[in-house]
Amino acid sequence: MIFERQNEPIDEATIKGFEVARNLRFPSDYRAFLLKFNGGRPADANAFWQIDELNLLSIEEVYGFTSDSLNSIEKDRFNNFSNSIHMQLLQIAYTGSQGIYMDLREGPMHGKIYILARPANKALKVDDAGFQDEDDYEEALFLHPVANTFSEFIALLGPDPNEA
């Protein structure tokens, strides 16, 4: 992936501290991405993608560890999930109007990528393990699967410049 603007590099201790504080574990491909790139604004050639029946979307920002609270995975993002689910569906990117979330719940859904977008799915397409209340189920209807892994998601956006 090529960035127009890239965040400052981070180290393993920063990632580990976040994982311990949130009691979660990043998938290895996402950890490697954070250590190498740490997010930023993708170059236009790498920002556009389309899934299912949704319109063509553009990634405005891939979040990382940064002091800019608008682009940091460390800062809480607004959504209607209960605190338990909110902590485990980490917003990792933004399209300008829709959030991109990584599922960090343990089990077969770990590492899957979703877009939280309207209109709602016709049926729940995400594993509902851990959804604790009616609001969680209702909000989950807006999660559209994007990719099974972070690597698959990034591949949708463009090539790694080191592989070109």
pLDDT in tens, 110-163: 999 998 877 766 677 788 887 877 778 888 888 888 899 999 998 887 655 455
**Predicted confidence (pLDDT) per residue in 54-86, tens digit:** 566 788 899 999 988 788 888 766 677 777 777
Neighbour count for residue 102 (Cβ, 10 Å):
26
Residue ranges of domains in the chain: 3-158
**Predicted confidence (pLDDT) per residue in 15-42, tens digit:** 999 999 989 999 999 999 999 999 998 8
51 vs 61: CA distance, rounded Å: 18
pLDDT value, residue 26: 97
Whether the pLDDT of residue 50 is over 80: the answer is no
pLDDT value, residue 45: 62
pLDDT value, residue 160: 52
Q: How far is CA 78 from the centre of its chain?
A: 14
Q: Is 71 exposed, middle or buried (0-12, 13-18, 19+ CB in 10 A)?
A: buried
pLDDT value, residue 134: 78
**Predicted confidence (pLDDT) per residue in 112-127, tens digit:** 999 887 776 667 778 8
Selected from 3.10.20.310, 3.40.630.30, 3.40.50.720, 3.40.1580.10, the CATH number assigned to the domain covering 3-158 reads 3.40.1580.10
